Amino acid sequence: MALRIGLCYDQKEDYLAAGFSPEAVMEFDDEETVAGIADTLSSLGHRVERVGRGVELARRLAAGERWDLLFNIAEGVAGRSREAQVPALAEMFSQAYTFADPLTCALTLDKAMAKRVVRDAGLPTADFVVVAEPPDLGAVELPFPLFLKPVAEGSSKGVTGQSLVTSRDQLGTAGEALLERFRQPVLVERYLPGREVTVGIVGNGATARVLAVMEVIVAAGEETHAYTALAKKEWQQRVRYRLVDGELAREAGQLALAAYHLLGCRDAARLDLRADADGRLHFLEANPLPGLNAEWSDLPLMVRLAGGTYRELLAAIVDAACRRVGL
């Protein structure tokens, strides 16, 4: 079925031209990604119209414009609920859209809130605390080593070689630096030293299925303990990816699907897991708006490793959304 699809996005180049810093726009998509999505959806027979950022979407919805489906990859600009802004707008104006609803987008961007929901449901996740002020760092009682990151950022923003701390002095130095730099609370969690995998899922309800389980191996440079922002930026030199099968893949898929449903992800998502010293997988975070650059984003990359195509991935996402909303 051919659809009229509106493509909603935050594009890096637009915000850089408006004076935003490169770090501030790290989560946003570049022209290559936006054009790749638009061209691929067009190749599937759909009529694609670029909408742009959430403010432009609001103007067009308020003017009475609608699409059969809004394909949403907009991240939002400010606040820990920024990823919920476009879904909330779409619901306000009765516009069907892809991916998660406002509650899930807000919940999963705040890593501590997502971990609380997962933990309360009995799924494994590393012990953690949230630190809002520098004096709170002295009250952290978790055993070292610990791992620090901003509580509500994506694309590994704030995750560096200093995120892994092994002493109270390091905790104080790294924690204060993150609080100052990002002006938001810091998630402090027990470090998991085992293998890291990311799980791609597509579909809804009983039809949701695991696309692939991919191991992320940071194999070069000093930051081999985590999938840092630098590793993501220089992935061709620093990172190896490989598909996982057997018992590890089964366990990863089972945990990821449980978290996918629990957190309310829809149509498609990517969930990150990491093992402890005993090899037991733990939930790290959920990405209900997964990156969709055809070449280097994790979800398209794992689909390609599994023998699928980018075109098939986008077709599956649109199909899942259409079935969910009754198109």
CATH of the domain at 164: 3.30.1490.20
In this model, does residue 222 exceed pLDDT 60?
no
Query: pLDDT tens, 271-299?
Result: 999 999 999 999 999 999 999 999 999 99
**Rounded Cα gap, residues 203 and 221, in angstroms:** 37
In this model, does residue 25 exceed pLDDT 90?
no
Q: Is residue 228 part of a domain?
A: yes
Same structural domain for residues 186 and 293?
A: no
What's the pLDDT at 100?
Answer: 98
What's the pLDDT at 148?
Answer: 97
Q: Is residue 247 part of a domain?
A: yes
**Mean model confidence pLDDT for the chain:** 93
Q: How confident is the model at residue 152 (pLDDT cuts 50, 70, 90)?
A: very high
In this model, does residue 157 exceed pLDDT 90?
no
Same structural domain for residues 32 and 89?
A: yes
**Rounded Cα gap, residues 42 and 19, in angstroms:** 32
Residues 6 or more apart whose Cβ sits within 8 Å of residue 143: 190
H and E: helices and strands count for the chain: 12, 12
In this model, does residue 251 exceed pLDDT 90?
yes
Average pLDDT for residues 294-323, to the nearest whole number?
97
Q: How many domains does the structure of the chain reveal?
A: 3
Q: Is residue 103 part of a domain?
A: no
What's the pLDDT at 20?
Answer: 84
Same structural domain for residues 169 and 62?
A: no
Residues 6 or more apart whose Cβ sits within 8 Å of residue 282: 124, 125, 126, 192, 273, 274, 275, 276
**Is the pTM above the cut of 0.95?**
no
What's the pLDDT at 302?
Answer: 97
133 vs 237, more confident: 133
Query: pLDDT tens, 108-132?
Result: 999 999 999 999 999 999 999 999 9
What's the pLDDT at 285?
Answer: 97
Query: pLDDT tens, 160-190?
Result: 888 999 999 999 999 999 999 999 999 999 9
In this model, does residue 26 exceed pLDDT 90?
no
Same structural domain for residues 200 and 318?
A: yes
Percentage, residues of the chain above pLDDT 70: 95
Query: pLDDT tens, 73-98?
Result: 999 988 889 999 999 999 999 999 99
Same structural domain for residues 154 and 62?
A: no
Among the listed residues 153, 182, 178, the one whose alpha carbon sits nearest the alpha carbon of residue 164:
178
Minimum mean pLDDT among 70-74, 145-149, 218-222, 322-326: which range?
218-222
Domain extent for 161:
128-190
Residues 6 or more apart whose Cβ sits within 8 Å of residue 280: 124, 194
**Residue 5 backbone dihedrals phi, psi, to 5 degrees:** -115, 130
CATH of the domain at 52: 3.40.50
Q: Is residue 102 part of a domain?
A: no
Same structural domain for residues 119 and 140?
A: no
What's the pLDDT at 300?
Answer: 97
Same structural domain for residues 207 and 238?
A: yes
What's the pLDDT at 226?
Answer: 65
